[in-house]
Chain A
Amino acid sequence: MLDVVHQPLLDIRDLTVEFATRRGTVTAVRNIDISANKGETLGIVGESGSGKSVTSFAVMRILDRAGRIAGGSVTFSGIDLRAASDRDMGDMRGREISMIFQNPRAALNPIRKVGYQIEDVLLRHVQAVPANVKEKAIDILKQVRIARPEERYHAYPFELSGGMCQRIVIAIALACRPQLLIADEPTTGLDVTTQKAVMELVVELTHKRGMSTVLITHDLGLAAAYCDRVVVMRKGEVVETAPSDIIFNSPAHAYTRKLMRATPRPGATLRDLLDEERPARKPTSVQADGRPLLKITDLVKEYARQGVTKSMAQLFGRKASAVDEQPFRAVDGISFEIMRGQSVGLVGESGCGKSTTSMMAMRLLDPTSGSIVLDGEDIGAIPARKFAKLPARKRIQMVFQDPTDSLNPRFTAMRAIADPILRLGGISGRDALRARCEELAQLVGLPRHLLDRFPHQLSGGQKARVGIARAIALHPELVILDEPTAALDVSVQAIVLNLLDELKARFGMSYLFVSHDLHVVRLLCDHVIVMKSGRIVEQGSAEQVLEAPQDEYTRELIAAIPHPPV
């Protein structure tokens, strides 16, 4: 019996997972060995396509129809999961092994009260009887630190914030006291402060209940900060397994080193993120020349609150609260300037109004009041619909957050880049257009033969390059970057950030960089503006704001970034 004690809780040996596709069989995971001990927090780190999610799906036996476990074994506390019947797996999921998914809103049923959703899992696994199930559900809500659990029991997912929803998902996952929790990117899409709270909760519950947690993430910093041991995966294979402090301080494998280097961290410069073999580029120091390019004064955007809630309240004879009568101010009187050649970072958590601000500056959205002055010309007064055809349109361009969403799926890369040139660029003739597109492709490092591909035939990084090429096609003076790297892997992010910096130096553009990631902002920006609830709480030079923050909120933001053990 001694053997059983030393056996890891989850033991994956020589696992291979294959998917049948139109082009034949694709091996997503190849001969991997991973084990998680009792009471341990294990991190699985890798970039997209590394097979980390597929591994967790294989453990849970929830691979989709095209996928199958082709070889190896998965043992969970002595039970062979590959051989277990579907019925046994059904009992196992949720009771012995639970999973938290990336998007908490998608994981919850939108039309069922969250309390009921917790009860469902309790009743399914006979952890409660109808008489005491509500009591138990509220108790679990308390454990995941939901304030006022009796009230929140009756809430629908849409009434709760993203962080709150993720707590509910954790509550559901932990309701039956499983021995193993698999968390697949549990904090992607959440704000840093929320991420911190959620991760601390997961780690604390893991310790308190003596269970094991497998954290799947693309963020090496996050894994190193919260996990005991880290497994690094690449292209379906495990490249390195080591305790987290060792992996962060002396990574053994070249790929781990590359990932480490690409992760933005304090003290690193943009160049540091790239491979060491790359030739060093002369440092770019474009001095802002002191002339303001864009001047925003007292900008306000209000939205009326006359939504369903108000009319429903009237319908049921309830009095709408005083707050509901007031228009909602998404942006509440902000002023700032962008100098020529300057990069300004606009930082804040979701809902702080940073995207609304950038959309107004971009003239895609009309402000309620305030002025937007571009180089002496008040462009804020021109309605957004008319602005599209004015010559000033050329001067402000944008790189969008999601490279997939911002490219028309029916247009080739070439057609996407050519669009602004055709409309406003004044280049005519097929050959001239083609030549200009190829020139732009070369500038952003997009291989020429990819120009004829459709977006779905390009990788995330390549799509980002197409988006950047399109934005710089008209030689804009100001480019607004709306989290241009949020959807990218860290190694691709490193390359794209360097590319942006180089393009800026080359063409003397100004950037307004909208982001929630302070580390990334520090790399690219000279000046940082921190926003909260539609107002600017702090602004100043990048060093000043990040090294010596004056405002409490800025300090909180900086503290929430995961700190790996160094």
Chain B
Amino acid sequence: MTAFDTTVIEAAASPATGLSATLKHARHVVTGNPITGFSFTLFILLLVCALFGPYLVPYDPLATNTVVALKPPSLHHLMGTDQLGRDLLSRVVVATRLDMEVAIFSVALVFVLGGISGIAAGYFGGWTDRLVGRLSDTIMAFPLFVLAMGIVAALGNTVTNIIIATAIINYPLYVRIARAEANVRRNAGFVQAARLSGNGEFRILLMQILPNILPIMMVQMSLTMGYAILNAAGLSFIGLGVRPPTPEWGIMVAEGAAFIVSGEWWIALFPGLALMLAVFCFNMLGDGLRDIVDPQRRT
């Protein structure tokens, strides 16, 4: 057999494998594009706030002090104080955890439910497809925010229910993407080859098809992450989310909105700004994540 191995072999050195290659590639992606780099920095900042926020802040976010109520930003209170004299900086930082929790868990939930049922619909077709398709059509028939309101109102005002409601309204998006991507690949050569190798249908679904549609799902996940934060804040804003005095960006904006007319702009501005930055960060993150997950970008 050695007679044959004199064929043209690419002289390139073997690429590094495993974790180190992934990290190297991730670094390339993050440093290669300034927007991706910026959004990753922002994401790390958000993560730090979410994990260590309560230990970092200068004041107790729930402690009221009427003496310093409604003070504009100053050296003592960098973002000012609200009507009860609570430090806004502390409240904005501490609220990160709750908002990130809602975003991450709802996206994880919808990724599992929507992703898997969408792939199954695209791959198997027939009855699975019809069932999943009609289910997502039904959800799409409602104005999505009103549906989320309805679900939270019916199930009760808890963080878990906000997560569930956010996941449900995002379900059709995930189903459609996963279905379309799986459908294209159902008869690809590598799927046939996997059948020849003795893989069952479910194994093909999870091991062969799912990794291939992961890059596009990543973009979707990061986009809905921002949307989930907005949704949770929106629910809190209209009084259906978490209850005061829990620090949460949506409630804080809602509470602050009343004071804008009387000139205390900082109460609504800073939580709103945090909300905006978080959503912005997740929207920008998607492209970078896709590039990291996709080995074909690793030239």
A interface residues with partner B (beta carbon < 8 Å): 22-23, 278-279, 281, 362, 364, 385, 388-389, 393-394, 397-398, 400-402, 405-411, 416, 419-420, 422-424, 442-445, 447, 449-450, 452-454, 456-457, 459, 461-462, 467, 470-471, 492, 495, 498-499, 502
Pick the 8 closest A-B CB pairs, nearest first: A406-B189, A420-B197, A423-B198, A405-B189, A449-B14, A424-B198, A410-B211, A408-B190
Residues facing A in B265-299 (CB within 8 A) are 295-296, 298-299
A422 to B198, CA, bound (A): 9
Nearest chain B CB to A60 CB, angstrom units: 28
Question: Is the CB–CB distance between B196 and A445 below 8 Å?
Answer: no
Question: Is the CB–CB distance between B189 and A281 below 8 Å?
Answer: no
Query: In the complex, which of the residues B9, B15, B195, B214 contacts A447, with contact meaning CB atoms closer than 8 Å?
Result: B9
Q: List 25 A-B contacts (CB under 8 A).
A: A22-B299, A364-B192, A385-B201, A388-B201, A389-B198, A393-B198, A397-B196, A406-B189, A408-B211, A408-B212, A410-B212, A410-B214, A411-B190, A419-B199, A420-B198, A422-B197, A423-B197, A444-B1, A445-B5, A447-B5, A450-B9, A452-B14, A461-B7, A495-B7, A499-B4
Further contacts, 15 of them, CB under 8 A, given A419-B194, A454-B295: A364-B195, A385-B201, A397-B196, A398-B193, A409-B190, A420-B197, A420-B198, A424-B198, A442-B1, A444-B1, A445-B2, A452-B14, A454-B296, A462-B9, A498-B4
Q: Enumerate chain B residues within 8 angstroms of A385, measured Cβ to Cβ.
A: 201
Q: Enumerate chain B residues within 8 angstroms of A423, measured Cβ to Cβ.
A: 197-199
Question: Is the CB–CB distance between B3 and A278 below 8 Å?
Answer: yes
Interface centre among B189, B193, B197, B198 (most CB of A within 10 A): B197
A502 to B14, CA, bound (A): 28
Q: Enumerate chain B residues within 8 angstroms of A445, measured Cβ to Cβ.
A: 1-2, 4-5, 7
B interface residues with partner A (beta carbon < 8 Å): 1-5, 7-10, 14-15, 17, 188-190, 192-201, 208, 211-212, 214, 295-296, 298-299
Known: A452-B14, A457-B15. A502 touches B1 (CB 8 A): yes
Nearest chain A CB to B201 CB, angstrom units: 7
Query: Closest residue of chain B to A403, judged by CB?
Result: B189
Q: Enumerate chain A residues within 8 angstroms of B192, measured Cβ to Cβ.
A: 364, 398, 400, 406
Q: Enumerate chain B residues within 8 angstroms of A467, measured Cβ to Cβ.
A: 193
Q: Enumerate chain B residues within 8 angstroms of A400, measured Cβ to Cβ.
A: 189, 192-193
Nearest chain B CB to A304 CB, angstrom units: 15
Q: Enumerate chain B residues within 8 angstroms of A422, measured Cβ to Cβ.
A: 197
Q: Enumerate chain A residues within 8 angstroms of B15, measured Cβ to Cβ.
A: 452-453, 457
A459 to B197, CA, bound (A): 23
A444 to B1, CA, bound (A): 7
Nearest chain A CB to B297 CB, angstrom units: 10
Q: Enumerate chain A residues within 8 angstroms of B188, measured Cβ to Cβ.
A: 405-406
Query: Closest residue of chain B to A447, judged by CB?
Result: B9
Interface centre among B3, B10, B208 (most CB of A within 10 A): B3
Question: Is the CB–CB distance between B296 and A362 below 8 Å?
Answer: no
Query: In the complex, which of the residues B1, B2, B7, B198 contacts A492, with contact meaning CB atoms closer than 8 Å?
Result: B7
A388 to B212, CA, bound (A): 22
A442 to B1, CA, bound (A): 8
A422 to B208, CA, bound (A): 14
A419 to B214, CA, bound (A): 20
A456 to B297, CA, bound (A): 10
Nearest chain B CB to A437 CB, angstrom units: 13
Query: Closest residue of chain A to B14, judged by CB?
Result: A449
Question: Is the CB–CB distance between B296 and A409 below 8 Å?
Answer: yes
Question: Is the CB–CB distance between B4 and A420 below 8 Å?
Answer: no
Query: Closest residue of chain A to B13, judged by CB?
Result: A449
Question: Is the CB–CB distance between B196 and A393 below 8 Å?
Answer: yes
A69 to B29, CA, bound (A): 30
Query: Closest residue of chain A to B195, judged by CB?
Result: A388
Nearest chain A CB to B181 CB, angstrom units: 13
Known: A406-B190, A410-B211. A459 touches B10 (CB 8 A): yes
Query: In the complex, which of the residues B7, B197, B200 contacts A470, with contact meaning CB atoms closer than 8 Å?
Result: B197
A405 to B208, CA, bound (A): 13
Q: Enumerate chain B residues within 8 angstroms of A405, measured Cβ to Cβ.
A: 188-190
Interface centre among A401, A445, A459, A467 (most CB of B within 10 A): A445
Q: Enumerate chain B residues within 8 angstroms of A364, measured Cβ to Cβ.
A: 192, 195-196
Known: A450-B14, A453-B14. A388 touches B198 (CB 8 A): yes
Question: Is the CB–CB distance between A281 and B3 below 8 Å?
Answer: yes
Nearest chain A CB to B115 CB, angstrom units: 16
Question: Is the CB–CB distance between B3 and A388 below 8 Å?
Answer: no
A456 to B5, CA, bound (A): 20
Nearest chain B CB to A397 CB, angstrom units: 6
Nearest chain B CB to A561 CB, angstrom units: 26
Known: A410-B211, A452-B15. A443 touches B197 (CB 8 A): no
A47 to B284, CA, bound (A): 42
Nearest chain B CB to A38 CB, angstrom units: 38
Question: Is the CB–CB distance between B196 and A420 below 8 Å?
Answer: yes
A462 to B17, CA, bound (A): 19
